Structure 1
Amino acid sequence: MAEQLQGRTVFITGSGGVLGSTYVRRMLDEGARVIGSDLPGHRAEALKEAHAGNENFRFYELDVSEEDQVVEIFKRILADGWEPNVVLNNAAITGELLMGAGKGFPDFADLEVKDWEKTMRTNLTAPFMVARQMDRDIVGKYPCTLINVASMYALNGAHHRIYDGMPFKNFSAYGVSKAGIHGLTLWLAGYWADRGATVNTIAPGAVFNGHSDEFQRRVGELIMLNRMAKPDEIADAMLFLASKAAGYMTGQLVNVDGGFSGW
């Protein structure tokens, strides 16, 4: 795979999270130049510290929900002499992040419109704005690819019972926004087809991130492989989609979910 990522310059939004930071590490290991971005805070600082001194890594603070910041980001990157030919629309907000630590998780009937709209702004409108800026600044100027990150819940209904008694619930706005992501992929894949750009969606399954044994058991029963994913297992598929080997793929949804979507 290493030679497939040589010459790749990958721009990743939301690169400080569990999956985002894994994509950064793995792509650097495989020979890519990587541009990370995230909100200012401890995740951004940890990412910068992890790759301090690596000449193939650059970091920009970015709030993808702010239109003016998205409009400027590619101009800043290009002005600094980097030309991203792979873009990962990875930034997203989950119910847990939205509610914040220690806050109660609302039932659907109590979900506030402002929280729904904030999720849509980050998870769906922001990827549109990133893609629009790609269209303005890089698409057609050189070959490039966009990878939109969806979820196992993008095209599959949630199993609400597995959240009974858990400190979090399945979040309606998250699944709906992730379903919309693949709609964006399909539209862009055709629109950019004659301009040297490909667009695909990856739909990660349930990724272990400190979940309780009971929750792991409940989720595992819904998955053919009977377990949650390790972050590196999702990254394996992401590396392929970002590589030259995926050059004939566009408009596709790639499920990496251990068989969840097969049942």
Structure 2
Amino acid sequence: MADQLKGRTVFITGSGGVLGSTYVRRMLDEGARVIASDLKGHRADALIEKHGANENFRFYDLDVGDEDGCTEIFQRILKDGWEPNVVLNNAAITGELLMGAGKPFPDFADTSVEDFERTLRTNLTGAFMIARQMDRDIVGKWPCTLVNVASMYALNGAHHPIYDGMPFKNFSAYGVTKAGIHGLTVWLAGYWAPRKATVNTIAPGAVFNNHSEEFQKRVGELIMAGRMCEPDEIADVMLFLASPQSGYMTGQLVNVDGGFSAW
């Protein structure tokens, strides 16, 4: 549906990753004004290089684990004349990201409290701080929508054998935070309903990101569709949740996982 987001101004945290950058591209294509944010670095630079000339695109440096940054972000945006009516709580730390920082991938028994709490801080506390600032600066001033991004592992246990022999594992803190994300959704949905704000959770399935053929095979055997998904297949549903067409939905968890959660 062309221009299904025309008139929407969408603020996205964690915009530089595989899914975040796809959301940015697709929402711009559908007529939205997009406010992207991420940590400083090559992912942010790539977004700015690709979309910086687009008058409907704006970028802000933001660490969602930083309380001061979250407290200031909407005032910065509003001061620049943009009024977000859709917010995507998309920023997250994964085990792969921690490993990419030069750390060995830990077994559960070797998981440090530092890494566990860092993940909580970004994935869950960060989402809370963004939502809290929405409450202070946006909710009730105009109708708005929050979409919290969870995971296929939010309400389903990880299948640990598929990670045997792989250079990465399923990280416990990730699943814990993604379950908590939906708890935040259902709490806020009722709290904000009188102020014309909706809150939903999207739970993406296994997104292909240059995984090995063996890992794709193992994951595919757990999914009714028989394969990992492409980022645009998640974005298709995100576009609906960010659009006026989802206006009667709130407090819902939408699985986009090829049938993984139905087995």
**Do they superpose with TM above 0.5?**
yes
Where do 4+ consecutive residues of structure 1 move more than 4 Å? Answer: none
**Identity percentage of aligned residues:** 83
1:4-19 equivalent positions in 2, closer than 5 A: 4-19=4-19
Q: Which residue of 1 aligns with 2:60?
A: 60
Secondary structure in structure 1 of the residue aligned to 2:119: helix
Matched with 2:189 is 189
Give 1:2 deviation, angstroms.
3.0
Task: Give the direction of change, closer, same or farther, for the CA distance of 1:222–1:54 in structure 2 (3 Å limit).
Answer: same
Give the counterpart letter for 1:139 in structure 2. Answer: V
Q: Distance in 2 between matches of 1:193 and 1:102?
A: 44
Counterpart-to-counterpart distance in 1, 2:183 and 2:80: 32
Q: Does 1:76 align with 2:76?
A: yes
Superposed, which structure 2 residues align to 1:73-112 within 5 Å?
Answer: 73-100=73-100, 103-112=103-112
* Distance in 2 separating the partners of 1:147 and 1:42: 26
Partner of residue 254, structure 2 = 254
- Deviation of 1:4 (Å): 2.9
- Corresponding residue for residue 218 of structure 1: 218
CA drift at 1:98 = 1.4
Q: What is residue 169 of structure 1 aligned with on the other side?
A: 169
Q: Distance in 2 between matches of 1:95 and 1:107?
A: 11
Question: How many angstroms does 1:66 deviate by?
Answer: 0.2
Distance 2:2 2:209 in 1: 27
Equivalent residue, structure 1, for 2:126: 126
Q: CA deviation at 1:52?
A: 2.2
The answer for the alignment partner of 1:33 in structure 2 is 33
Q: CA deviation at 1:101?
A: 5.2
Instruction: Give the unaligned 5+ runs of structure 1.
Output: none
CA distance in 2, matches of 1:113, 1:80: 39
Query: Would the aligned equivalents of 2:3 and 2:29 in 1 still touch at CA under 8 Å?
Result: no
Distance 1:183 1:150 in 2: 10
Aligned length: 263
CA drift of 1:63 comes to: 0.4
Shift of 1:93: 0.2
**1:91-121 CA distances to partner (integer Å, 9 max, x unpaired)?**
0000111122553211100000010000000
Counterpart secondary structure, 1:5: coil
Once the two structures are superposed, residues 134-190 of structure 1 have per-residue CA deviations (whole angstroms, 9 ceiling, x without a partner) of 000000000000000000000000000000000000000000000000000000000
State the one-letter code of the partner of 2:230. Answer: K
Task: Determine the C-alpha separation between the residues in 1 that align with 2:104 and 2:55.
Answer: 43
Secondary structure, counterpart of 2:28 in structure 1: helix
C-alpha deviation, 1:3, in angstroms:
4.0
1:207 is aligned to 207
Which stretch of the first structure deviates more once superposed, 102-111 or 226-235? 102-111
Partner of 1:155: 155
- Matched letter for residue 253 of structure 1: L
Cα shift at 1:215: 0.1
Q: Secondary structure at the match of 2:190?
A: helix
**Within 2, Cα distance between the matches of 1:53 and 1:186?**
38
For normalisation by structure 1, the TM-score amounts to 0.99
Structure 2 portions without partners, runs of 5+: none
Amino acid in the other structure paired with 2:196: G
* AA at the equivalent of 1:232: D
Structure 1 residue 211: Cα displacement: 0.1
Partner residue of 1:42?
42
Q: Is the 8 A contact 2:40 2:61 kept in 1?
A: yes
